């Protein structure tokens, strides 16, 4: 496919292919072309939204195809094999010759990917650390052993040597890491502290989302404790600041678990839903602050682990970023105890 931006449009599905899985059909239909489209690669293209039919994006690889359907497959732009070093300011919390801990701002992507090929944390680390990061953890995210979402702020650790990388990866694999997040959620959790358990996997209704699933998925455990409750002028619960501690680290774990509990994160564009602020007795500053907060209110506040070489215990804390703290300050100007 010479032009990645132009979709490859397949002929209409023949009658004899009816009922076949979409990923299997596409692999067969595209075989012998200039591009190597394996079934696994096509599955990922489907999950990432690069296959369309009749103008609609299809994200289910197991979809049963029908005669006459016309599919279009778009090849995303190729990310450079080796990210380029870019001079991007970093808030460095700790650094030695083995590792670096950074307080990531919201809006910064951790590693290059289609749609975000540059201006990422990896590009910044390559500039700051130089060749010591090259190749560690794979060319796409050198030194990165864990990640947080683009719009989540907070602490991230990266390795600067192969030895540190392998040791840190082992700690994360055995969940021998302390990771706590501050989340501002709608309503108040009931009870105010506890544990949420539920395997997390792809949402069967929307493959771009994660969900608590009954089959498949990976075990996930989140411990939570309510730090502050915020009420409106009538004593109605508006939101709560919750400290979430991860026992496991799954994709979107806190966002999925808190939503399943009925306390979606404020500002979450994927797992939240539009809230009517009219039912709350709030001042205009609070209404404007809630309506204007356009990212999930989630901050990686605590990160603790044993040093991968010396074994020395390390623990770091990050205060709430400016936008999160400002939102909390405005909301806290409301009544914070019910009548």
280's enclosing H/E stretch is none
Check if 131 is active-site. no
Quickly list DSSP for 95-130.
E-SSEEEEEEPTT--SS-BTTB-SSSHHHHHHHHHG
| Helix, strand or coil, per DSSP, at residue 13 | coil
Task: Label the pairing between strands 153-159 and 99-104.
Answer: antiparallel
Token representation of residue 50: 């690069």
Helix (H, G, I), strand (E, B) or coil at 16: helix
The DSSP element (H or E) to which 146 belongs, if any, is none
Cα 273 from Cα 74, distance rounded (Å): 30
CA angle, residues 118, 123, 128, in degrees to nearest 5 = 155
**Of 149, 151, 182, 232, which one is the catalytic site residue?**
149
> Is 6 in contact with 31 (CB distance < 8 Å)?
no
Task: Encode burial over 176-200: b for 16+ CB neighbours within 10 A, e otherwise.
Answer: ebebbbbbbbbbbbeeeeeebebbb
Tokens for 252, please give them: 């979107």
- Give the CA distances from residue 285 to residues 78, 240, 277, 328, 338, in Å, rounded to whole numbers and listed in that order: 45, 18, 12, 12, 20
> Three-state DSSP class for 32?
coil
Active site residues: 149
């Amino acid at each position: 496919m010479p032009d990645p931006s132009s979709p490859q449009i397949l002929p209409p599905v023949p009658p004899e292919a009816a009922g076949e899985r979409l990923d299997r059909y596409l692999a067969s239909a595209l075989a012998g072309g200039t591009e190597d489209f394996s079934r696994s690669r096509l599955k990922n293209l489907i999950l990432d939204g690069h296959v369309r039919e009749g103008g609609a994006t299809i994200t289910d690889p197991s979809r049963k195809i029908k005669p006459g359907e016309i599919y279009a497959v778009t090849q995303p732009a190729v990310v450079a094999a080796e990210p380029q070093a870019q001079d991007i300011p970093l808030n460095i919390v700790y650094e030695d010759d083995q590792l670096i801990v950074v307080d990531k701002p919201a809006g910064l992507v951790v590693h290059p990917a289609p749609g975000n090929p540059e201006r990422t944390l990896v590009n910044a680390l390559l500039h700051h650390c130089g060749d010591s990061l090259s190749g560690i953890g794979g060319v796409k995210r050198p030194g990165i052993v864990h990640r947080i979402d683009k719009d989540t702020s907070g602490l991230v650790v990266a390795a600067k040597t192969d030895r540190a990388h392998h040791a840190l990866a082992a700690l994360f694999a055995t969940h021998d890491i302390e990771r706590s997040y501050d989340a501002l959620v709608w309503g108040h959790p009931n009870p105010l502290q506890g544990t949420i358990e539920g395997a997390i996997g792809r949402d069967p209704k929307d493959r771009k989302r994660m969900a608590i699933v009954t089959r498949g998925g990976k075990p996930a455990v989140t411990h939570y404790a309510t730090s502050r409750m915020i009420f409106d002028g009538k004593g109605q619960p508006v939101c709560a600041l919750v400290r979430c501690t991860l026992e496991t680290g799954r994709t979107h774990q806190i966002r999925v678990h808190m939503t399943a509990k009925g306390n979606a994160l404020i500002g979450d564009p994927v797992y939240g839903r539009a809230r009517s602020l009219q039912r709350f007795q709030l001042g205009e500053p609070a209404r404007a602050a809630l309506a204007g907060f356009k990212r999930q209110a989630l901050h990686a506040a605590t990160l603790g682990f044993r040093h991968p070489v010396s074994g020395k215990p390390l623990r770091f804390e990050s205060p709430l970023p400016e936008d999160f703290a400002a939102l909390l300050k405005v909301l806290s100007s409301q009544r914070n105890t019910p009548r």
